[in-house]
A = this chain, B = another copy of it.
Amino acid sequence: ELLSELVGFFQPKGLKGRRVVITAGPTSEPIDPVRVLTNRSSGKMGYALAQAAHEAGAQVVLVSGPTALPCPYGVLRIPVESAAQMHAAVMAETPAADVFIAVAAVADWHVVNASSSKIKKTPEGTPPALQFATNPDILAEVARLPDGPYCVGFAAETENLLGHAEDKRQRKGVPLLVGNLAQRAMNADDTELILFDDQGHRALPAMPKLQAARKLILEISGRLGR
C-alpha cells in the first residue's frame, strides 16, 4: 500500500498540466425502478487509469457508472447511471480535455418503454414486452469533435480479439485502441492488454491492472507529443 503510493509518487510526470477525461464501470439502463439492464464491469481498469493519470500529473475527471470502488485520490469523479447520463457528462467535459480514455462498458441499448413503477409479474408469468433503442456512441462522437482530445478506446472481446479490435479502432476513428479478452479481464486484478494503432498491434505481458495502467499512460503521453 505505502510502497504503491511511493511508486506512484515517482511516476514520470508525462501528463503534467494535461486534462484527462476517463469513463469507467458499467452503465445501468432502467427497465423499471427496480430492474436494470447492465454489463459485467468492475470498473477496476478505468479506476487504475484514473489513478495512473493523476500520478502522471494530469487533472483527471472520472465519469463513472455504478461501482463499489473508492474514488482514487486527487481525481474528480462524476457518478452516472445510464449511457445517456454518461454521454451528457462526457460531452460537457471533453471539449476542454487533452485526452479522452473510454474504458466504461457502456450498454449498447436502452429500454424505450421503461416503466416508472415496478412492473408486476402476471399470474401467467408473461414477461414484459421491452422495446430497445441504440445508445449514443460516446467514443466515436468525441473522436469526431473538431480540435477534440486524443482518444483512446477499449475493446473487451470474448473471441477473435485481433479482428474485432482493429475493426473497432477504425469504426470509432481513434488513434489508439486497447484490447483485452473479456473472460480474462472481467472482475480480475490482472490484465493482458494489446495496443492497436495505425502501425499494427503490440501485446503487453499480463500484469496487475495498476501497473498496466501506468504503462498505458506512458504510451499515451509519449504519443501526445507527436
Q: Point out residues on A near B: beta carbons under 8 Å.
A: 28, 31-41, 68, 105, 107-109, 117-118, 120-121, 125, 127, 130, 132-134, 156-159, 164, 182-183, 186
CB pair B182–A33 under 8 Å, yes or no, is: yes
The closest CB in chain B to the CB of A120 belongs to B164
How many Å from the CB of A80 to the closest CB on chain B? 15
Q: Which residues on B sit within 8 Å (CB–CB) of A34?
A: 39-41, 105, 156, 158, 182, 186
How many Å from the CB of A167 to the closest CB on chain B? 10
CB pair B134–A125 under 8 Å, yes or no, is: yes
The closest CB in chain B to the CB of A35 belongs to B39
* Interface of A (DSSP majority class): loop
CB pair A107–B35 under 8 Å, yes or no, is: yes
How many Å from the CB of A218 to the closest CB on chain B? 28
Interface CB pairs A-B, < 8 A, 9: A35-B40, A35-B107, A36-B37, A36-B40, A38-B38, A68-B68, A117-B158, A118-B157, A127-B134
CB pair B121–A182 under 8 Å, yes or no, is: no
The closest CB in chain B to the CB of A119 belongs to B108
CB pair A36–B33 under 8 Å, yes or no, is: no
The 4 closest A-B pairs by CB, nearest first: A68-B68, A127-B132, A125-B134, A118-B158
The closest CB in chain B to the CB of A124 belongs to B134
Identify 7 new A-B residue pairs, CB closer than 8 A, beyond the known A34-B40, A117-B158: A34-B156, A35-B40, A38-B38, A68-B68, A118-B157, A125-B134, A127-B134
CB pair A37–B40 under 8 Å, yes or no, is: no
Q: Which residues on B sit within 8 Å (CB–CB) of A132?
A: 127
Cα of A105 to Cα of B118 in the assembled complex, Å: 12
Cα of A117 to Cα of B183 in the assembled complex, Å: 10
Q: Which residues on B sit within 8 Å (CB–CB) of A38?
A: 35-38
